[in-house]
Structure 1
């Protein structure tokens, strides 16, 4: 009896310690923010926006691989640079296991989210709800809901596969650069790992979704759009380097220098 009570008490103390430990709370917070950004990026990615019109400038009329046009990107690109920063931050303090955990968790949540979106699409709509937004230019709310949340399976799977491959590549390149440079040049391992992982990600998602998928894009269009997406992601990643250092400064202040350095040493050691 006493042994059982002692075991239960130890479990309770361990649980409380985990919740009271700042490093554990930090990981939970980083993981939660990472997953929210990844899931949101997938869901808002159905919208394509014109960058030049958004900025109020004349169309640049790019011309690559025989294809021409204006700069149009998925709205998900607003959030993916944040995901890159979160990946590198978790990698810095929690290593490969931390990044792999949050990556698989995010992928599972994305599948979960889309599964329930498809269930919601197939629920019979209330008759009054279908026409409730007519005054706002939406004659059929059900059709609009299905169009926005019912992204094609090729797009969903292409995005998921590219996300997982990109994350796994990112974590390995990050630590290769870290071994070569030590604890110096945090910007280099962050930007270098993103440069390689997003090169793969940018083309894999388009290849699965639009080349293998029903649209069967020509090679020239695939290369042109993939190149533009990659250049945009890299420009955003470079622009957000100061955010990486702000995150590091905040973490050191929250954990204390000694605890932060301990986590980084464990992460570097694998």
Structure 2
């Protein structure tokens, strides 16, 4: 008869890297990169709208429906595994974005076979300008690192209490920075994006992303508590170098 094994007791850790190996870290990283790539590939450049009770319309970027999930996963990474390991995931996501942009450019640039009439549609969907690509990368990099840094610092300040305040507070900073950088850098001065629409989308992106974080807080609690128990660790980044460019040794 197979004997069940209880998860290890949760041990506090100072955030320094070393020989620790985790069971689920790679899976969380894969989920983060998947959500990041799909949300940027499918929804980043399409503005949509909802009709308000008074009959007016409110515009928002379609990618906002799924992109905030990457921030929630980022919160889980920082809270469970610490800033240093979240930093590795952020750089992995950044590298994936770079490759995605190169692949999209290469495939769109290839000549279409004779008789195939989908090139125009293909270019419209996948042929983002380098301005949009660069804006996406800069916004992701700044927003994710800000999110992880604020959450890690707040965990130390609060001595691990009030997880909801840390996740929402870090999202307010990180998602706000992401939206403030991406949309003006990508679409300012482009036909179809008048300034009033652009700033409305920036504001709505920030509000919707933060609301998503707040709404999914119970789910975030469940995942974080489950992972801490299964991994047997709770990281406080008291011994961490918070530079985005610091070298990780494990």
The interval holding the TM-score normalised by the smaller chain is: 0.7 to 0.9
Q: Which has the higher contact order (CA 8 A, sep 6+)?
A: 2
Name the structure where helix makes up a greater proportion of residues: 1
What is the CA RMSD across the aligned residues, in angstroms? Answer: 2.5
2: CA distance, partners of 1:75 / 1:245? 26
Give the aligned partner of residue 248 of structure 1. Answer: 224
Uncovered stretches (5+) of structure 2, i.e. residues with no partner = 1-18, 241-250
2: CA distance, partners of 1:75 / 1:220? 18
Give the aligned partner of residue 233 of structure 2. Answer: 260
Q: Is the 8 A contact 1:170 1:194 kept in 2?
A: yes
Give the aligned partner of residue 52 of structure 2. Answer: 60
| TM-score (normalised: structure 2) | 0.79
Aligned length: 222
| TM-score (normalised: structure 1) | 0.74
Please tell me whether Structure 1 or Structure 2 has the larger radius of gyration of its CA atoms: 1
1:2-61 CA-partner distances (Å, limit 9, x unpaired): xxxxxxxxxxxxxxxxxxx99433111111111111111110125636453xxxxxx117
1:184 aligns with 2:171: no
> Given the alignment, which residue of 190, 196, 204 partners 2:181?
204
1:146 aligns with 2:123: yes
1:1-270 map, 5 Å: 23-46=21-44, 48=46, 50-52=48-50, 59-60=51-52, 70-128=57-115, 130=116, 140-211=117-188, 214-215=190-191, 219-255=195-231, 259-261=232-234, 264-265=235-236, 267-270=237-240
1: CA distance, partners of 2:62 / 2:198? 19
2: CA distance, partners of 1:236 / 1:169? 18
**Secondary structure in structure 1 of the residue aligned to 2:111:** coil
1: CA distance, partners of 2:113 / 2:107? 12
Q: Is the 8 A contact 2:61 2:201 kept in 1?
A: no
Segments of 4+ in structure 1 off by > 6 A?
Answer: none
2: CA distance, partners of 1:79 / 1:107? 18
Distance of aligned partners of 1:241 and 1:186 in 2 relative to their CA distance in 1, 3 Å threshold: same
